[in-house]
Structure 1
Amino acid sequence: MPTSSSDLRPKSLTVPADSRTYDIDFVSLAGVPAHLRTLGLHGPNVVIVTDENVAAHYRSPLVHAFEADGWKPHVVVVPPGESSKSLERLEMLYDTLLPIGLERSTPVCTLGGGVVGDVGGFAAATLLRGVPLVHLPTSLLAQVDSSIGGKTGINHAVGKNLIGSFYQPHGVLVDPETLLTLPAREWINGMAETIKHGLIADAALVAYLDEHLVDILGHHSLEATVPAIRQAMAVKARVVGHDEREAGKRAYLNFGHTFAHAIEQVAGYGTVAHGEAVAIGMRAALYLSWQRHGDALDRERLDTLLTRLPLPDVSHLDFDALWTAMRHDKKTKDGRIRFVLLKALADPYVADDCAKPAVERAWDFVQQSPA
């Protein structure tokens, strides 16, 4: 791994929240135990929730760092993938953690990607009616998106993320060098959400990705990736700071997600990765936006950026099945499916009047012009 430098350890970002302001700090994993103390957290017990893939790389170093700093770490390892966002897995966490002498001051650290953050965060939110939560995101998607904003939860057969809570962490500690052990597919996942942040709120980030996507995806260059991470994080922090519980503009972060959640459900959770589904969903949402706003939206340029992400073929998915899944999405209101659309780059809005034929035409476009 390259030696850390000031360029790879940007200054922290602050996330305002109704209950508490917290920081996103760039910290090496070795520095996590000491940093928890600066957040006002203390042991001796600390819980680390991680998955099997991440544990293979980072469980031992983090455990040794905690033990050297006087903590008593308790590690819970879950299987990787969406299957861990289940009531059964949540119950396993409760059964494992409650007997260790957990107290309301015992911090829970989620070490991993979005799945670990969601299920571990929901456990922290509900154990003893809430214990301190610290996210240690190791995936690109988790660093730029899911670790920020306080959403926790699990899936249900009816739909994705239908059981959960808003529960803000005490802090988010990011070590960019954990990205170097990610498989290529996880880089694609994360860049999809990074592009999304640019499309809804930051034209400069879109321009940056136009120029640097090859270095990021092709060479996994941290020098190229870290500025994009910081810009994407800043977008998420800014949006969440204005609307913690998704009563207004935070909904813009769901750009592409109405399609994406339906794709994930119909394909079978874990078949299409979340970021992949979001990228496909954004292509459909861009087309739906273009049907309404025409040349005010530079659709071809933005769609070209998305098609530079290697994405799975979903042309076999039945539109009527997707439409049914969309109707059960948690963003549906008064029986009306809601889509985030763009009037222009970085000018999003929520529409609840999209007719089924228009949505089907957008899906047909995605099917007929795969990435």
Structure 2
Amino acid sequence: MQPSEESLSVNLGERSYPILIQDGALGNADLTPWVSGNRVLIVTNETVGPLYMDQARACFPGCDIDEIQLPDGERYKNWETLNRIFDTLLEKHHTRKTTLVALGGGVIGDITGFAAATYQRGVDFIQIPTTLLAQVDASVGGKTGINHPLGKNMIGAFHQPKVVVIDPLTLNSLPPAELSAGMAEVIKYGLIRDADFLAWLEEHMDRLMALQAEDLKVAIRRSCECKAAIVAEDERESGVRALLNLGHTFGHAIETHTGYSEWLHGEAVAAGMMMATDLSERLGYLNYNDSTRVRQLLIRARLPVNPPEGMTPVHFKALMQVDKKNLTGELRLVLLKELGDAVVTSGFDDEALEATLDYFCHPLD
């Protein structure tokens, strides 16, 4: 596949790479230009593998290909599963010239990328995301890692892929809940960076949820453009990149509390974005109409706007302290100054945060 009008770049100097977006790319694109040697290990899961492994193998003509299928689910993004990748690499005698290929959603991308970052101190890898969440967010930017029982994504490395290949046709096999989970990250870009895109999402959400192809391509491309621009400006999250975590501090607390097994990542982020929106309104940044717009858009995307029943302010506060954005013990949150403009801050009223937590954890009181 040659770069076309459906491609864009993540500009990181010598580590720059393209994002290729094309219907039918999986199975038809020749990805050998991004393979460092002749050995490839395709990492996928038990759900995606039966659907797309043959097409993925076809993208590497002439290569010596091994494959591994991991269990499916966020709860498997851990050391034990990571070691299964290392076991395969070592048993099959893969060298530093090996290229790993992540075929799947965000979990597969994160764990494969971390394996690539650490195997023999770093090998190349390629992202082929098959879920909306991975296509618009997780596959771009080089964040890799695994979860710990005490905190999500606390163990990992920055390791950029050589190329990201997005085939929107894979979304046709996506369960409805996974589509909604990905839409949470799409909505996030409108909230933090692009009010016009947010308005476009409000106009087109019903078509997006109905898998209208051209609308999905617009949403995927605009999301990737936002992510690529932010990563190019701040690769290692020392500044503006932290804005991508809108709702994630609340959301990661939800995921950790529920053992990474009950809520999809995007579902937790959606509830977290609603909580961040509420806090932003309490601080005087947003008004009631702004909050209503956010809530209605999330609901139209079939996403939760409240945390799980039984989760208390005590649970949230304990888990939110284990967050990568926190500095010198201070809780830092991404809040909305207005729709389309976000800020990372620790300068918020603790009483306002308490009020938000009380409101969402005791909605009937």
TM-score, normalised on structure 1? Answer: 0.91
1:160 and 2:152 equivalent? yes
Write the mapping of 1:249-288 to structure 2, written as runs, cut at 5 A: 249-288=240-279
Relative to structure 1, the CA distance from residue 101 to residue 348 in structure 2 (aligned partners, 3 Å threshold; closer, same or farther) is same
Residue 168 of structure 2 is matched in structure 1 by 176
Write the mapping of 1:324-343 to structure 2, written as runs, cut at 5 A: 324-343=318-337
Distance 2:31 2:87 in 1: 28
C-alpha displacement at 1:346, in angstroms? 1.7
CA contact (8 A) 2:286 2:336 kept: no
C-alpha displacement at 1:302, in angstroms? 2.2
1:36 and 2:28 equivalent? no
Secondary structure in 1 aligned to 2:337?
Answer: strand
Choose 75-84 or 252-261, whichever is displaced more: 75-84
Secondary structure in 1 aligned to 2:15?
Answer: coil
The residue identity in structure 2 corresponding to 1:261 is H
Which deviations, in whole Å up to 9, do the C-alpha atoms of 1:11-40 show, x marking residues without a partner? 2111022651111012411234x2332x3x
Gaps of 5+ in 1: 1-8
Runs of 4+ off more than 6 Å: none
Secondary structure in 1 aligned to 2:47?
Answer: helix
1:16 and 2:7 equivalent? no
The residue identity in structure 2 corresponding to 1:31 is N
C-alpha displacement at 1:163, in angstroms? 0.4
Choose 182-191 or 293-302, whichever is displaced more: 293-302
Distance 1:59 1:360 in 2: 48
1:109 and 2:109 equivalent? no
TM-score, normalised on structure 2? Answer: 0.93
Secondary structure in 2 aligned to 1:283?
Answer: helix
C-alpha displacement at 1:262, in angstroms? 0.4
C-alpha displacement at 1:104, in angstroms? 1.7
| Identity, % of aligned positions | 43
Distance 1:286 1:357 in 2: 16
The residue identity in structure 1 corresponding to 2:32 is L
Write the mapping of 1:280-359 to structure 2, written as runs, cut at 5 A: 280-295=271-286, 298-312=290-304, 314-359=308-353
C-alpha displacement at 1:294, in angstroms? 4.6
CA contact (8 A) 1:125 1:167 kept: yes
Distance 1:329 1:366 in 2: 20
Secondary structure in 1 aligned to 2:231?
Answer: helix
CA RMSD of aligned residues (A): 1.9
Which deviations, in whole Å up to 9, do the C-alpha atoms of 1:100-124 show, x marking residues without a partner? 2212222111000000000010000
The residue identity in structure 2 corresponding to 1:13 is L
The residue identity in structure 2 corresponding to 1:61 is Q
Choose 132-141 or 69-78, whichever is displaced more: 69-78
The residue identity in structure 2 corresponding to 1:170 is K
CA contact (8 A) 1:82 1:270 kept: yes
CA contact (8 A) 2:133 2:185 kept: yes
C-alpha displacement at 1:283, in angstroms? 0.4
C-alpha displacement at 1:304, in angstroms? 1.9
Find 2:113's aligned residue among 118, 121, 124: 121
Distance 2:52 2:197 in 1: 30
Distance 1:75 1:356 in 2: 50
CA contact (8 A) 2:48 2:104 kept: yes
Choose 42-51 or 253-262, whichever is displaced more: 42-51
Distance 2:135 2:315 in 1: 32
Choose 88-97 or 345-354, whichever is displaced more: 345-354
Distance 1:243 1:65 in 2: 31
Secondary structure in 1 aligned to 2:31?
Answer: helix
Relative to structure 1, the CA distance from residue 337 to residue 46 in structure 2 (aligned partners, 3 Å threshold; closer, same or farther) is same
Which deviations, in whole Å up to 9, do the C-alpha atoms of 1:317-350 show, x marking residues without a partner? 1220111000112221111111001111122111
CA contact (8 A) 1:283 1:366 kept: no
